[in-house]
Amino acid sequence: MTKFALISVLLLLSGLTGCLGSDDGFEWPSPTEQECSILVEYNLECEVYISGSESPHYSLINPETGDLWIIYLSGFIRSWDGESMTEIVDLSSITSRCHMEQGLLGFAFDDDFINSGIVLLSYIEKGPCEGDNKSDLIIASVNVGENGLIDKSTITSLRVIDQPYRNHNGGQLLSIGNNQYLLGLGDGGSGSDPHGHGQDKTNSLGSINLFSYTDGEVKPVLDETNQDPYVLHYGLRNPWRFSLGLDNMLWIGDVGQNCWEEVNLVPLNETRNLGWSTKEAYQEFDKNADCESDENTIDDNLTYPITYYGHQDGNCSITGGYWMDWGPESLQDGYLYGDFCTGLMWILKEENGIWNSDYIGAAGGMIVGFGKGLSDELLIFLWTGNIISVK
């Protein structure tokens, strides 16, 4: 078993359960020491890839330079070439951090980036931290100059999405080719989906959005009536991460509330209702119900998770995940995911038509995201600011 000491986070095991989705002044825990620990049969080693003290959570390889671009909730984008870090842009002056779930949330390189130099961004705009939320989610474009840095003056707002509360923002952007992109959006926040956004297809919240970006404009791709034209999949609470797998199947990790954390698998281009807030996993959702409730009637109009797990032993919030068609051989051909609070990780693989989750190990801290390194290493982004490589 491979271990090393690193800065991690004190787990408030009972206090965190179900609290991460609230907008009620939740007090986040403080850092402490812990260890990364991977089961020996996976033949993997953990190392500190990049140490830090901020909030990195997502990365992509720059298609022109081959460097690793890393985004931070604090509003920074930085580039790593394997030896040194370069600041690409500082957007902290336009990005809200009133809540731990706010900030610079996602980015994607334009499909024609080598010629256009355009990067798409999603972030929560700056606003007052007192009173009701006034900060919306912004989809914007920005240009990379000849010096390889983002020119902040070129930021152009393309779409504004109203956020009634400060949490459940989602915000991941994912290019799927042909100038089309996916955007994950939470249900608007607070707790228990007070406005019913999850089951309301006439608004963009609580869903995976599909849009095109061409000629400097964001436009819906779908031609559906009686619904928001951006909505592809709905019935989601907070799809913090999603990943495209084999045969155009989309893996969605959806953060639960009271009881269950979900892994969903849906056809990319066939709209599905994933149940929130009628259901939490297979259980009828009731914010006052016991997690052992047997109210589990099946609704044929809903798509249920392919796997899910509860809040036992300190688990609290799923961090999806990647379909692993790259990286360490022992993890390939499976869906990798972990839990934010405990740092535990699993790999979900199919055998004879049955999907089974196997425990991999513990990351050594609170997991906020996964990524791909310069040499196809698996990267784990920890809430402490450290980035861990597994290879």
- The CB-side HSE value for 128 (13 A sphere, CA atoms) comes to 5
Residue 4, pLDDT above cutoff 50: no
Residue 39, pLDDT above cutoff 80: yes
Predicted local distance difference test score (pLDDT) of residue 22: 43
- C-alpha to C-alpha distances, 361 to 36, 88, 335, nearest whole angstrom: 8, 34, 15
Predicted local distance difference test score (pLDDT) of residue 15: 34
Tokens 């671009």: give the residue: 69
Contacts of 194 (CB under 8 A, 6+ apart): none
Q: 52-61 as b/e, with b when 16 or more CB fall inside 10 Å? A: beebbbbbbe
Paired tokens of 281: 């996993």
Predicted local distance difference test score (pLDDT) of residue 2: 40
- d(Cα 297, Cα 200) in Å, to the nearest integer? 21
Residue 288, pLDDT above cutoff 50: yes
Contacts of 7 (CB under 8 A, 6+ apart): 31, 32, 33, 365, 384, 385, 386
Residue 248, pLDDT above cutoff 50: yes
**125-155 residue pLDDT tens:** 999 999 999 999 999 999 999 999 999 999 9
- d(Cα 228, Cα 158) in Å, to the nearest integer? 17
Give the H/E segment covering residue 259: none
Residues in the chain: 391
Provide, rounded to the nearest whole percent, the portion of the chain with pLDDT above 70.
91
Contact predicate 368/381, CB 8 Å: yes
Residue 264, pLDDT above cutoff 80: yes
Contacts of 215 (CB under 8 A, 6+ apart): none
- d(Cα 270, Cα 31) in Å, to the nearest integer? 43
Provide, rounded to the nearest whole percent, the portion of the chain with pLDDT above 90.
87
Higher pLDDT, 193 or 6: 193
Helix-strand-coil percent breakdown of the chain, rounded to 5?
Answer: 5, 45, 50
Contacts of 13 (CB under 8 A, 6+ apart): 313, 314, 341
Give the strand pairing for 31-38 and 354-362: antiparallel
- d(Cα 332, Cα 324) in Å, to the nearest integer? 5
Contact predicate 106/121, CB 8 Å: yes
Residue 287, pLDDT above cutoff 50: yes
Superfamily of domain 2-390: TolB, C-terminal domain (2.120.10.30)
Residue 32, pLDDT above cutoff 50: no
Least confident of 51-60, 176-185, 217-226, 285-294: 285-294
| DSSP per-residue codes, 94-136 | GB--SSTT-SEEEEEE-TTHHHH-EEEEEEEBP--SSSS--PP
Predicted local distance difference test score (pLDDT) of residue 81: 98
Paired tokens of 190: 């607070």
Rg of the chain over all Cα atoms, to the nearest angstrom: 20
Task: Categorize the per-residue pLDDT at 17 as very low, low, confident or very high, splitting at 50, 70 and 90.
Answer: very low
